[in-house]
Amino acid sequence: MKNTFVYWTGIVALIFQAWLTFASHSVMRRTGYEFFKATHFAATVVFMIVFLWHCDHTLTSWHYFIATAAIYVPCLVYPWLRTAFEYGFTQKAFVNIEGNGFVPSDKSELVFYIRHSHGLTKKLYDHACKQPATPVPVLVDGPYGGINLQRFNEANRLLVVAGGSGAGWILSFLELFCRQMRTTGATETTVRSDVSLSDEEKRLGGIEHRRKLRVVLATRDIDSRTWFLEAVAELFAKYSLSTKPGGVDIEVHLTGKAVRTVTVAGTRGDEGLSTSSSADNIEVETKSNGVRAPAEEVSGRPDLSLAIHQESEAARVGNEPLSVYICGSTTMQNDARNAVAKENLAILKGRRSGGVYLHSEHFSWA
């Protein structure tokens, strides 16, 4: 009887161990992450209990529980304890801030762009639709990773590429670029307000902003295109830019069903939004600020190899560094990697100097 019990507990432990191993494949995680997560936790608990029975509480079976608890429990409890006890209702803090030009006047704001699909994002979307004005408490843990700001600031030419839901990812680059442009322009205008600059002085670093940002968005959804341009227009208005800055180029590539539906009038049903479309250019204007976000419209998938080569040649002529940022599908990322590798390979052959920096972001779980 005892041998039978040991045998079957071993079989059960092997089954759940096999599930933990093979269910961790990226295909399973992408197909249903919420299901993967729930079954992963359940299989772990069952495996540990059955494993203890299988070992008949002998040898070092208890050591597995001790090691698991010592590592997992503190990692699980610490973030909640830190949030609960870091700021309490009975705590008081006295902060003396003198009135000076460095006191922040605007409230800090962190904006998340979430495209609902299924699982957690679907629940959040349904909750927002049912109760649009109800605040939701959020525990933010991070950030993890991100771009290298030093590379971003050092590059005079920037190429940002995204596909689909990566449209929201582009906005952070645009906002940082516009913020730096406004800060640089304000500083140079103040310093040189009493100096008459020639065109050559302006070109070499005067009031004109020498940095260039090229944005390429590929989308199969007309609504995503319209929302993106509306968000860009609001962003320009936020930084007091009456039109698209001279150093920014925006391309919207329509693919799939969006190619057959190029008319954006009435797609959002918003009276505060007026749109116009042509074969080459599109503009979106918000009623609240009257700022337009013109962009070049192209049918079909973007030729990333050509785009990277064009920016690389422009950077080579101006002896400027180039940084490429991409957030898209696996195919799009592979095309970008191959194109950047080709440009960097030209350095070894002596055809150009400098290098091309590449930063990639994944759409989903790795």
Instruction: Select the more confidently predicted residue: 154 or 191.
Output: 154
CATH of domain 149-188+204-361: 3.40.50.80
Dist CA 330 CA 327 (whole Å): 9
* 25-32: average pLDDT: 82
Please list the residues that pair with 358 across neighbouring strands: 324
Dist CA 106 CA 361 (whole Å): 30
Report whether 253 contacts 200 (CB < 8 A). no
Report whether 228 contacts 258 (CB < 8 A). no
pLDDT at res. 87: 61
Q: Which residue type, as a one-letter code, is found at position 141?
A: D
What count of other Cβ atoms lies within 10 Å of the Cβ of residue 304? 25
Give pLDDT tens digits for 288-334. 455 556 677 788 889 999 999 999 988 888 888 899 999 988 889 99
* 40-58: average pLDDT: 84
pLDDT at res. 272: 39
pLDDT at res. 26: 83
Q: Where are the domains of the chain?
A: 2-84, 149-188+204-361
Task: State percent of the chain over pLDDT 90.
Answer: 18
Report whether 250 contacts 294 (CB < 8 A). yes
Give pLDDT tens digits for 229-284. 998 988 888 887 766 677 889 999 988 766 666 544 444 444 433 333 334 455 54
Model confidence at 188, in pLDDT bands (50, 70, 90)?
A: very low
Strand duo 281-286 + 273-277: pairing? antiparallel
Report whether 330 contacts 163 (CB < 8 A). no
Rounded to the nearest angstrom, the gap between the alpha carbon of residue 319 and the centroid of all alpha carbons in its chain is 29
Q: What is the mean pLDDT of the chain?
A: 76
Helix axes 33-54, 61-86, angle to 10 degrees: 140
pLDDT at res. 303: 92
pLDDT at res. 196: 44
Structure tokens at 278: 């042509």
